[in-house]
Amino acid sequence: MTTSIALFTRDLRVHDNPVLHAASTADRCVPLFVVDDAIVSSSFFNSNRASFLVDSLTDLDAALRERGGRLVVRRGQVAEEVARIVRDHDVTEIHVAADVSRYARRREEALRGLGADLHVHDMSVNAVPPLSLTPSGGGDHFAVFTPYFRKWETVHRRGVLRAPQRLTTPRISGDVPDLRHGTPSPELAEGGETTGRELMAAWARTGVADYADVHDALADDATSRLSPHLHFGTVSVTELLDRVGTASEGARAYTRQLAWRDFHHQVLAARPESATKDYRTRGDRWRRSDRDFAAWRDGRTGYPLVDAGMRQLAREGWMHNRARLVTASFLCKTLYLDWRRGARHFVDLLVDCDLANNQMNWQWVAGTGTDTRPNRVHNPVAQAKRYDADGAYVKRYLPELAEVDPAHVHEPWTLPEDEVKALDYPPPIVDLREAADRFAAARHQR
C-alpha cells in the first residue's frame, strides 16, 4: 500500500495542481498544510493575508471533502510535522511545489531524508520554472525583461491537469484553525479557489480582451484582480494562461504581465539577497524623514494620486499597478527615502504580497533593480492627468476632494485661495522640481 503527502504551500487548489495530481495516485493521500510558526509570527502574515488564507484553506478543505478526503492542518515547523505524519502513517512519498525564496528552498532541503521519496513539482507556482531559462550570452538568470519574455513565450507549457475525482485520506487529526488576527482592510477581497475560479472564468470571458487598452485607466478598475489568487495558488497560472489564450491583443498583453511574475521570481531565485539588498547599487544615501514617510503612508502628501493610491491600499489591501508605480516612485525618487521602507509598508498591508514581486518591483521603481532606465521619475501630476483624466479614481479614495472641479482635482493648490483653505486636504509636502533636482544630484545626473 502506498501513502502520500500532498504538502500544500501556495498552491491552495484542487484544479490543475501538479502536487495533488501526483500525490492522489497513491492508495492513500494526506493533503497537508502546515501553519509554520516562523511565517505566522512574521510581519509577512498581515491581517489581510491571514484572512485570505483562512478563506482559502476552508474552501480547499470543502473541495477535498467532496472528493472523499479532507485537508489536514498542523501547526509548527514544516519538516517536523511532515516527519511525524510520515512515521505515524507509513508515508512513502511526499509531494511539494518548487518555489524560489530562501525560506522555500530551506524547507525543501529539510524535507529530504525524512524516510519517504520527495517529489518537487515545477510549474505549479510558476508557468515556467524559475531558473530553467538562461541568456544565450551567459549568466545564470535574465537581468532584462524583454529578452526573457522572448524566450519565455517559446517554452512549451504543460497541459492543464484535472482535479482528482476521489481521494482516500487516513484518519488523522488537524482541522482548519482560525488564524485571523488584527483588523483586515474593510474592502478586502474574499479568498478561496471557488471565488478565484469564478473571477478567472469571468476575466477570460469578458475582461481580458480589452486589457491592452484599459489596464492603466485607474478609475476603470479593468485589471484582473487575480494577484492574491495567483499568490496563494487558488488560481493556477498555467490554467489562467490556457483560459485567456492569445487570440486578442488584450490576451497577449495580459500574458506579458504574467511573464513579469515569472521574471521577478527567477531574479530572486538567482539572487536571494535581493529581497533586502540593492540588486544594482546606485550609491544611494537615502534621506531619513519620519515626517515625510508618515505623510506618504497615511495618504497625506498633498499629491492626490499618491494619496488615493495609499488610501486604496489601506481600504482594500490591494492597489492598482499604475498607482503602485506612482506611489513607489514618489517615496524613493521624489522623497528620496529608502525603497526598503516603502516595501515594508506594502508587506504590512498587501493581500497579494509576494517576496519576489514586491521587493523586485520596488527595486525596479527605485532604479536599483532591473529597470533599464533607472533614473526615470513618475511625476504624480502628469501621471494623474494621463491615467485619471477626470479625477474619478482620486475622488473615489479622497472624499475630501469629491466636489473639486476635474480641472483642479490633481492640483488642488491651483484653486482660489479661499477654496483651498476650505478643503480638509494638506498642501504638497515637497516641491516636485526641487525634489527632481535633489534626486538627479544624488544619482549624479547633473
Stretch that binds ligand FAD, among 45-53, 181-189, 217-225, 274-282 (CB under 6 A): 217-225
Binding to ligand FAD in span 345-374, by CB under 6 A: 346, 350, 352-354, 357-358, 361-362, 365
C-alpha 118/C-alpha 82 separation (Å) is 11
Kindly list the distances between the CA atom of residue 180 and the CA atoms of 33, 71, 138, 184, 353, in Å, as whole numbers in the listed order.
Answer: 16, 18, 46, 9, 17
- Whole-number minimum distance, CB 365 to ligand FAD, in Å? 5
Give the H or E element holding residue 314.
helix 304-316
The total number of residues shown for the chain amounts to 446
Of 92 and 375, nearer to ligand FAD (C-beta) is 375
Check: CB of residue 197 under 8 Å from CB of residue 290.
no
Check: CB of residue 387 under 8 Å from CB of residue 380.
no
Cell numbers 519565455 correspond to what residue? 152
Q: Is 248 in the site for ligand FAD (CB under 6 A)?
A: no
Stretch that binds ligand FAD, among 8-16, 220-228, 424-432, 438-446 (CB under 6 A): 220-228
Q: Is 230 in the site for ligand FAD (CB under 6 A)?
A: yes
Contact string (CB under 6 A) for ligand FAD, positions 265-304, x = contact: ----------------------------------------
User: Residue 350: left (phi > 0), alpha (psi -120 to 50), or beta?
Assistant: beta
Of 233 and 412, nearer to ligand FAD (C-beta) is 233
Q: Is 28 in the site for ligand FAD (CB under 6 A)?
A: no
* β-pair partners for 33: 8, 73
Kindly list the distances between the CA atom of residue 4 and the CA atoms of 21, 128, 172, in Å, as whole numbers in the listed order.
Answer: 11, 26, 13
C-alpha 225/C-alpha 88 separation (Å) is 42
Check: CB of residue 211 under 8 Å from CB of residue 250.
yes
Per CB under 6 A, the list member of 257, 400, 423, 436 interacting with ligand FAD is 257
- Whole-number minimum distance, CB 355 to ligand FAD, in Å? 8
Per CB under 6 A, the list member of 264, 297, 333, 378 interacting with ligand FAD is 264
Of 32 and 326, nearer to ligand FAD (C-beta) is 326
Contact string (CB under 6 A) for ligand FAD, positions 328-347, x = contact: x-----------------x-
Check: CB of residue 342 under 8 Å from CB of residue 362.
yes
Please report, as ranges, the residues that interact with ligand FAD according to CB under 6 A: 215, 223-227, 230-231, 257-258, 260-261, 264, 321, 324-325, 328, 346, 350, 352-354, 357-358, 361-362, 365
